[in-house]
Amino acid sequence: MTAPRAAFLAPAMADALARYLARKQGLAGASANTIAAYATDLRGFLGFMAQHLGGLDSPRALGTITQSDMRAWMADARGRELSARALARKLSAVRGFARFVADETGIDISAILATRAPKHARGLPRPLSASDARDVLDTVALQTTADWAGLRDMAVVTLLYGCGLRVSEALSLTGRDAPLPDVLRMTGKGGRERLVPVLPVARRAVDDYLRACPHPMAPDLPLFRAMRGGPLDRRHIARVMEATRMQLGLPASATPHALRHSFATHLLAKGGDLRAIQELLGHASLRSTQVYTAVDTTRLMDVYDAAHPRARG
């Protein structure tokens, strides 16, 4: 797959993009990671159009883009083996920026807005089974030679599975959060706050780590520390999970985020209320949570087929 073309933006276009991203971050409360993704997507689009059209000197030039131009951009993206889902995300970013420019300048962006995203099947989350999740918790601490670091990794993973936290949320905890309270107030995507009950097993895992951690703890310092005392990097958790799943013979889908999926799926299987799970996960829409009902049904049918291979044939 070839790399996307570099985007060298005209000053006026670069200024409009910077203002749009600042507004997105300020008004919509988008996270730094989301803003960075928007910037990458939009620079790629504008860079393509500048080359395709022979220039894109000002934001008003977006009004000259035709549906044929949009199809050329989408064909270029698909030619770089971009998935339909990723292209749909990029198109959403382009539409948002185009609306922003249109509001400022009054240009016609109907060609951009009329462009349809490619259809894609929404993939189901791939949670671990309850026994595999327990095996991960029992094994993850063995992937490092320092005992305190093993306790740290187990504490992080326990928060992912036991509380449904995102990796970024677990790593955002500071010394101010220790010892963990009965309920954590977390700020997730879009600046949405939610209350997350902390299970005793998660609290004990964090307490065990804190007692062994060789680095001084302070309210404004990260709770989870790297070997030299700096903040723990999410890539470390990904590497630890990779080593753990290889040791246990688990599939590549057994990622840190899969533990959050497992949290939701196992709650639902135990009779958890969908609305309550939505609140615990911090989903803005119930549609995002309803995907776990499909996961639970799929797993149920897999068990049924395994037990009764001729029942439906």
Read off the pLDDT of each residue in 215-224 and give the average, rounded to a whole number: 94
Looking at every residue in the chain, the average pLDDT score rounds to: 80
What pLDDT band is residue 4 in, cutting at 50, 70 and 90? very low
312 or 124, higher pLDDT: 124
Our answer to whether residue 19 is catalytic in this structure is no
Our answer to whether residue 189 is catalytic in this structure is yes
288-307 pLDDT per residue, tens: 444 444 444 444 334 334 44
Catalytic residue among 166, 225, 236, 261: 166
Read off the pLDDT of each residue in 184-193 and give the average, rounded to a whole number: 73
Catalytic residue among 60, 95, 189, 299: 189
Our answer to whether residue 283 is catalytic in this structure is yes
pLDDT at 10 over 60: yes
| pLDDT, position 265 | 72
Q: What proportion of the chain, given as a percentage, has pLDDT over 90?
A: 40
pTM flag (> 0.85):
no
Our answer to whether residue 266 is catalytic in this structure is no
Read off the pLDDT of each residue in 252-275 and give the average, rounded to a whole number: 70
Read off the pLDDT of each residue in 171-180 and give the average, rounded to a whole number: 93
| pLDDT, position 29 | 60
Give the range with max mean pLDDT: 29-38, 56-65, 264-273.
56-65
Three-state DSSP state, 186: strand
What pLDDT band is residue 122 in, cutting at 50, 70 and 90? low
pLDDT at 211 over 90: yes
Alpha helices (H) along 28-146: 32-53, 67-79, 84-105, 110-114, 130-139
**Length in residues, the chain:** 313
Catalytic residue among 89, 99, 194, 257: 257
Three-state DSSP state, 195: strand
Residues 6+ apart with CB under 8 A from 199: 162, 163
Buried b (16+ CB within 10 A) or exposed e, 230-259: eebeeebbeebbbbbbeeeebeeebbbebb
| pLDDT, position 69 | 92
Catalytic residue among 24, 203, 236, 260: 260
| pLDDT, position 268 | 59
Our answer to whether residue 166 is catalytic in this structure is yes
Read off the pLDDT of each residue in 107-132 and give the average, rounded to a whole number: 76
CA-wise closest residue to 144 among 228, 243, 215: 243
| pLDDT, position 292 | 44
87 or 140, higher pLDDT: 140
Please calculate the CA angle 270-179-172 and round it to the nearest 5 degrees. Answer: 80
| Residue 55 DSSP code | -
24 or 231, higher pLDDT: 231
pLDDT at 12 over 80: yes
| pLDDT, position 252 | 84
Our answer to whether residue 308 is catalytic in this structure is no
Read off the pLDDT of each residue in 119-147 and give the average, rounded to a whole number: 78
State the Cα–Cα distance between residues 61 and 139, nearest whole angstrom: 56
Measured CA distances, 161 to 117, 196, 270 (Å) = 34, 12, 15
pLDDT at 59 over 70: yes
Ranking 5-19, 31-45, 55-69, 131-145 by mean pLDDT, the lowest is 5-19
- Residue ranges of domains in the chain, CATH in brackets: 11-114 (1.10.150), 130-307 (1.10.443.10)
Read off the pLDDT of each residue in 3-11 and give the average, rounded to a whole number: 63
- Kindly tell me the burial class for residue 112, based on how many C-beta atoms sit within 10 Å of its own C-beta (0-12, 13-18, 19 or more): buried
16-47 pLDDT per residue, tens: 999 999 888 777 566 677 788 889 999 999 99
| pLDDT, position 17 | 92
Please calculate the CA angle 90-96-100 and round it to the nearest 5 degrees. Answer: 145
